[in-house]
Chain A
Amino acid sequence: MRVGLFVTCVNDTLFPRTGRSVVALLERLGVQVDFPLEQTCCGQPLYNTGYRHRAESLVLGLARAFRDHDVIVTPSGSCAAMVRDNYPRIAARAATEQRATGRAEALAEAAAAVVPKTYELTEFLVDVLGVTDVGACFPHTVTYHPTCHGLRVLGLGDRPRRLLEAVEGLELRELPGAEECCGFGGTFAVKNPAVSAAMGTDKARAVTGSAAQVLCTADNSCLMHIGGILARQGSPVRPVHIAEILASTDGKLL
C-alpha cells in the first residue's frame, strides 16, 4: 500500500507542524508515507467562492500528483470533503458544458481515480489501519470541535473522539453546542466578517466554558479562526490539530 500525504496548502504554508505530526504518527504505526512535491491545493477556496472553472486544473493536478499512490491521507476534513463530494460534481458539470474537448473526460477520470482512495486522517487510522489506540500520551484537558465538513459531509462520527479517548492522560471535556459551525467558512470569514466573528465568538465562549486547556479539531482552517479569536481575547486555550495530539508520546508537541 503506497500511502501519499496530501498535507493541504493551508497546512503546508501555515501549519507545517501538523504535516510533520502526521508523518511521525503514521511512521510510528508502521506506515511508510510519501509526500509528492507536485501537490498544491484541492481547489476548495476557488470552488466554494464560485470559481469552478478555475478549480478544474487543481482537480487534475491532485490526481496527477497522487497517480502512483494507493491511498491519499489528508489531515483536513474539509479538503477530504472537497475531493469526495465536489470532484464528481465538478466532472459532472463539465460534462454538460461545451468547452475544450476531452476536459470533461479528464475530470471524470481524475475524480474516479482520487475519490475512492482519499481518506481524512481519522478515517484512515480507524477504518484502514483499524486502530483507535495509537500509543499517544498527552496529559492535558482537551475539548473537541467536530468541524462541519468532517461531521456532515464525511460523516466522521465518533472516530476522532474514539482516537482522543484512547490517548494516555488525555481528559476530554464536553463542548456545548459542538455541532454548530464556528463561522470560518473559507472566504465567508472575510465576505461576511460580522456574522463570521459573531459565530466564532460564541464558539470561543463555549470553548472557554469547557475549561479545557486545549481546543482540538481535525481542520486547521477552523482552528485558525477560533484560535485567532481566542488569542485576541487573551485566552490561554491552545488550538491544536488532532494529528499533533495523536503524534505526541510525551505530552509535548513536535
Chain B
Amino acid sequence: MSRTYLGMPAFPEAAAVSTGDATLRANLRRATHTIRAKRAAAVAELDDWDQLRAAGAAVKDRTLRHLDRYLLQLEENVTRAGGTVHWAADADEANRIVTDLVRATGETEVVKVKSMATQETGLNAALEQAGIRPYETDLAELIVQLGDDLPSHILVPAIHRSRGEIRDIFRTRMADWGRPAPSGLTDRPSDLAEAARLHLREKFLRAKVAVSGANFMVAETGTLVVVESEGNGRMCLTLPETLISVVGIEKTVPTWQDLEIYLQLLPRSATAERMNPYTSMWTGTTDDDGPRSFHLVLLDNGRTDALADRTGRQVLRCIRCSACLNVCPVYERAGGHAYGSPYPGPIGAVLTPQLRGLASPLEESLPFASSLCGACYDVCPVAIDIPEILVHLRERVVQGGEVTTRGIRTVVKPAKKHLAERAMMHAAGWTLDHPRALRRAQRLAARTRRLHPRRLPGPGRAWSDTRELPPLPTEPFRDWWARTRGGTA
C-alpha cells in the first residue's frame, strides 16, 4: 500500500530526527553538492541566462494573468485533436476521474510516468483502494515504490538512498511486484539500472493504460510535453492504448515560442544538461500511432487560491527543476521527508502551505523552515523570490490575514501556538520604539551580567544547548558614545 503524508509532524520535530541521521546527511550532501556544481557550470555556459530567466518569469506571469483564457484555448485544441479534457477542482476529484477512466477500460493495472501532480493527489493510494495496481516506471520512483517509501526530492525521489540500500530493496521487493532481481545483484549503478530495465520491460509491454503528468501544455495547439532522462516516459506515452495525463493548470504556456524558453531553462537547472535526453510531445491522438484514447485531467487543487495572492502567486511559475533543493542548506541537512509533502525544500516550504492552506502544525511550520539565506532565489530559473514568500506566509501564520480558500476570500486568525511569541514580539517592538526604554533595559542587563546563567532555561535552551552565549559588555555602545562624545543618552 502506498504511503501517504497524513499525520506528518511539524518540520522542526522531523528535522531534529533527520539531522541526526549520519548516513542520510552524507547521501544528501554528496548528491546535492555534485549537482549544484554541475548546474552552476551549465548555466554559466549561456551569456543570456539572466534574460532567459527574466523571460521565463514574465511569460509565466502573463499566462497566469490570463489563465482562464489559455485554459479554454487548451481545452478546445486538445478536444479538436481527439483528446478528452476533464476539470478537477481538488485531489479527490482528480483521483476519482482517473480511477473511473481506468475502470472503464476494464484494466486492473497502469504504468506511470514520473508525475508530481499525481504524487500531490495521492493517486497511487486511491488506485490501490479501487483494486488497480499502479506501477511506477521512473527508476527513482520505482525505488521509492518498492521500498514502501516516500519521495524526498522532486527530481530524484530516492536521493536519500545509497546504492547498497537500493540493491537490498531490489533484492527483497522486486519479486512482489513482478520480475525478481537477477541473482547476485551488485550495487554497481549499471547492474541496478539493468535490473530495473528487465523488471520494467514486461510492464511496458503488457500495460494497456498509462498515467502521466506533463511539464508543459501548449495552449495554441493543445500539445503536451514531457521531458525526461530515462526513456521510460516515452515507453508509457507510446505503447499503451489509453493515456491519462494529470496536469496542474499552471503548466500552461501560450505558444511554442514560449516553450522554447523553458526547454532551455529546465534541463540546465534540473540535471545540468544542455538538453534532456527525451522530450516527448503529443497532441490529442493520432491514427495508428500511440494511444487510441487520450484524457487530460486539469488539476486545480489550491492553485487558483494561490493565484489570488499577489505575493504568493509567484510559486505558480515553478517548473519543478529542483535547483532550489540542491542549493538549500536546510534541505541538505533536514532531508526531503521533513517537509511532509512531495514538494520538499524551499519551493515546498512556500508551495505546500498555499496548496493545502495552513491546515495543520506542519503547514504552519513550513514557512519558518528557512534561514532566508537567499540561495534558492539566486538559482531559480523563473526568479521566484522564495524568501519574500516565506516571510509573507510567516505573517499569515503569526498575524493571520486575508486568504482565498476554494475561491472564497476569508480572514484567517493567527495560529494559536504563536500567542506567547506575539506578546514577546510586541513587547520588544514597544521597547524598540522607545530609545530610553531600550537604554534602561540594556543598562539593567549590563549591571546584572554576572548573574546571567551560561545555559538558558525554557525556550532559550534552543540557543544554548549547542552555542555559547556572547558575554554581555560592561556598557552598551550608546552609553560609551554619551560618555565619550558628550551626547545625552
- Residues of B contacting A61 in the complex (Cβ-Cβ under 8 angstroms): 432-433
Question: Does A13 reach chain B (CB closer than 8 Å)?
Answer: yes
Using A54-B426, A183-B371, A189-B463 as known contacts, say yes or no to A37 and B468 having CB atoms under 8 A apart: no
Cα separation A194 to B465 with both chains bound (whole Å): 10
Instruction: List which B462-489 residues lie within 8 A (CB) of chain A.
Output: 462-463, 465-470, 472-473, 475-478, 480-482, 485, 487-489
- Residue in chain A with minimal CB distance to B468: A231
Q: Do the beta carbons of B310 and A50 come within 8 Å of each other?
A: no
- Residues of A contacting B398 in the complex (Cβ-Cβ under 8 angstroms): 49-51
Cα separation A66 to B15 with both chains bound (whole Å): 42
| In the complex, per-residue mask of A168-192: 1 if CB is within 8 Å of any chain B CB, else 0 | 0000000000011101111111111
Cα separation A200 to B369 with both chains bound (whole Å): 15
Q: Do the beta carbons of A153 and B374 come within 8 Å of each other?
A: yes
- Residues of B contacting A9 in the complex (Cβ-Cβ under 8 angstroms): 432, 438
Cα separation A179 to B480 with both chains bound (whole Å): 35
- Residues of B contacting A55 in the complex (Cβ-Cβ under 8 angstroms): 429
| In the complex, per-residue mask of B349-389: 1 if CB is within 8 Å of any chain A CB, else 0 | 00000000000000000011111111101100000000010
Using A50-B394, A181-B373, A194-B12 as known contacts, say yes or no to A13 and B442 having CB atoms under 8 A apart: yes
Using A183-B329, A195-B334, A229-B467 as known contacts, say yes or no to A188 and B370 having CB atoms under 8 A apart: yes
- Residues of B contacting A47 in the complex (Cβ-Cβ under 8 angstroms): 391
Q: Do the beta carbons of B378 and A152 come within 8 Å of each other?
A: yes
Q: Do the beta carbons of A193 and B310 come within 8 Å of each other?
A: no
Question: Does B185 reach chain A (CB closer than 8 Å)?
Answer: no
- Residues of A contacting B367 in the complex (Cβ-Cβ under 8 angstroms): 50
Q: How far is the CB of A82 from chain B (nearest CB, A)?
A: 11
Q: How far is the CB of B344 from chain A (nearest CB, A)?
A: 13
- Residues of B contacting A232 in the complex (Cβ-Cβ under 8 angstroms): 466-468
- Residues of A contacting B432 in the complex (Cβ-Cβ under 8 angstroms): 9, 40-41, 43, 58, 61
- Residues of B contacting A160 in the complex (Cβ-Cβ under 8 angstroms): none
Q: How far is the CB of A168 from chain B (nearest CB, A)?
A: 27
Q: Do the beta carbons of B433 and A40 come within 8 Å of each other?
A: yes
Contact with A16, one of B377, B466, B475 (Cβ below 8 angstroms): B475
Segment at the interface with B among A99-107, A128-136, A205-213, A220-228: A220-228
Q: How far is the CB of A117 from chain B (nearest CB, A)?
A: 21
Cα separation A187 to B480 with both chains bound (whole Å): 28
Question: Does B330 reach chain A (CB closer than 8 Å)?
Answer: yes
Q: Do the beta carbons of B371 and A191 come within 8 Å of each other?
A: no
Question: Does A11 reach chain B (CB closer than 8 Å)?
Answer: yes
Contact with A185, one of B16, B370, B468 (Cβ below 8 angstroms): B370
- Residue in chain B with minimal CB distance to A199: B329
Question: Does B131 reach chain A (CB closer than 8 Å)?
Answer: no
Using A50-B398, A183-B329, A192-B11 as known contacts, say yes or no to A16 and B477 having CB atoms under 8 A apart: yes
Contact with B371, one of A17, A40, A199 (Cβ below 8 angstroms): A199
Using A35-B485, A191-B368, A200-B467 as known contacts, say yes or no to A16 and B473 having CB atoms under 8 A apart: yes
- Residues of B contacting A17 in the complex (Cβ-Cβ under 8 angstroms): 473
Cα separation A190 to B15 with both chains bound (whole Å): 13
Q: Is the interface of A mostly helix, strand, loop or mixed?
A: helix
Using A49-B394, A190-B462 as known contacts, say yes or no to A13 and B11 having CB atoms under 8 A apart: no
Q: Do the beta carbons of A15 and B473 come within 8 Å of each other?
A: yes
Instruction: List which A1-57 residues lie within 8 A (CB) of chain B.
Output: 7, 9, 11-17, 19-20, 23, 35, 37-41, 43, 45-55, 57
Most buried by B among A153, A198, A202, A232: A198
Question: Does B428 reach chain A (CB closer than 8 Å)?
Answer: yes
- Residue in chain B with minimal CB distance to A17: B473
Cα separation A202 to B25 with both chains bound (whole Å): 11
Question: Does A197 reach chain B (CB closer than 8 Å)?
Answer: yes
- Residues of B contacting A7 in the complex (Cβ-Cβ under 8 angstroms): 477-478
Q: Do the beta carbons of B373 and A185 come within 8 Å of each other?
A: yes
Question: Does B435 reach chain A (CB closer than 8 Å)?
Answer: yes
Cα separation A137 to B153 with both chains bound (whole Å): 49
- Residues of A contacting B368 in the complex (Cβ-Cβ under 8 angstroms): 187-188, 191-192
Q: Do the beta carbons of A200 and B489 come within 8 Å of each other?
A: no
Cα separation A232 to B12 with both chains bound (whole Å): 23
Q: Do the beta carbons of A152 and B373 come within 8 Å of each other?
A: yes
| In the complex, per-residue mask of A87-123: 1 if CB is within 8 Å of any chain B CB, else 0 | 0010000001000000000000000000000000000
Question: Does B397 reach chain A (CB closer than 8 Å)?
Answer: yes
Cα separation A41 to B441 with both chains bound (whole Å): 14
Cα separation A225 to B464 with both chains bound (whole Å): 10
Question: Does A148 reach chain B (CB closer than 8 Å)?
Answer: yes
Using A12-B478, A50-B398 as known contacts, say yes or no to A196 and B470 having CB atoms under 8 A apart: no
- Residue in chain B with minimal CB distance to A224: B470
Question: Does B106 reach chain A (CB closer than 8 Å)?
Answer: no
Q: How far is the CB of B482 from chain A (nearest CB, A)?
A: 7
Question: Does B8 reach chain A (CB closer than 8 Å)?
Answer: no
| In the complex, per-residue mask of B383-427: 1 if CB is within 8 Å of any chain A CB, else 0 | 000001001001111110000000000000000000001100110
Q: How far is the CB of A56 from chain B (nearest CB, A)?
A: 10
Using A148-B371, A193-B465, A199-B371 as known contacts, say yes or no to A58 and B429 having CB atoms under 8 A apart: yes
Contact with A12, one of B391, B397, B428, B442 (Cβ below 8 angstroms): B442
Question: Does B445 reach chain A (CB closer than 8 Å)?
Answer: yes
Q: Do the beta carbons of B373 and A46 come within 8 Å of each other?
A: no
Cα separation A200 to B330 with both chains bound (whole Å): 11
Q: Give 4 nearest A-B pairs by CB, closest first.
A: A185-B371, A228-B467, A50-B394, A181-B373
